[in-house]
Amino acid sequence: MEFQVLGSEAAGPTLRLDHEEFAYAGKFVMSSTGKSIVREADQLLGAVAFSEDSTDPTTVRLRYVTVRESRRGEGVGPRLLRFTADALAGAYDTVDIAVNNPMAYEACYRAGFVYTGEQTGIAELRMVYRPGERESDRYRSGFERFRERDLPPAHEAVCDRHADGDPPAVVDVPA
């Protein structure tokens, strides 16, 4: 797999993704966000859109993450998130993301993000990139927040699987 940052929001990279293969495809056409990608043998597997926080120029937010439908569940998302966060960490004090479901929450932990205990105004849990922090109580508290919601069975299963567990191991930074 080949990982690449296409450019910052100032560079205005755009991607045209097949909406049948990628969630949030329309968000990647915008030139107002930076983009990172992962591809394999000329096939795009996933993408991340990011931008500087409008209230704090020392923070960059990962806005949208998408993985090709046929490659979900293979760990592509956590590796792409880790690559992107690690690449941006040198230019920003804080790399953060807000997640709205337990599957994304687990993937972000695998990428080195941790739950801050904060929830955004749109019912998302705020996470920051800190690959060295792996505190079990904090990890489980995010699943407890999701359990307060009416979840589909697949999301409930993720919460059940992690109810008493430790955070997953962080994936290595892809080369």
Q: Tell me the per-residue pLDDT of 21-46, one tens digit each, with 9 for 90 and over.
A: 999 898 899 888 999 999 999 899 99
Please report, for the domain that includes residue 137, its CATH number: 3.40.630.30
Q: Any idea what DSSP says for residue 108?
A: H
Question: Is 175 a member of any domain?
Answer: no
Q: In this structure, is residue 172 part of a structural domain?
A: no
135 in a domain, yes or no? yes
* Total domains, the chain: 1
Residues with Cβ within 8 Å of residue 107, at least 6 apart in sequence: 65, 77, 78, 81
Residue-level pLDDT at 166: 87
What pTM did the predictor assign?
0.93
Please report whether residue 37 resides in a domain. yes
Q: Residue 137 sits in which domain range?
A: 2-161
Residue 56 lies in a domain: yes
Is 146 within a domain? Answer: yes
Nearest-angstrom CA–CA distance, 40 and 56: 35
Q: Give residue-wise pLDDT tens across range 158-171.
A: 998 887 888 889 99
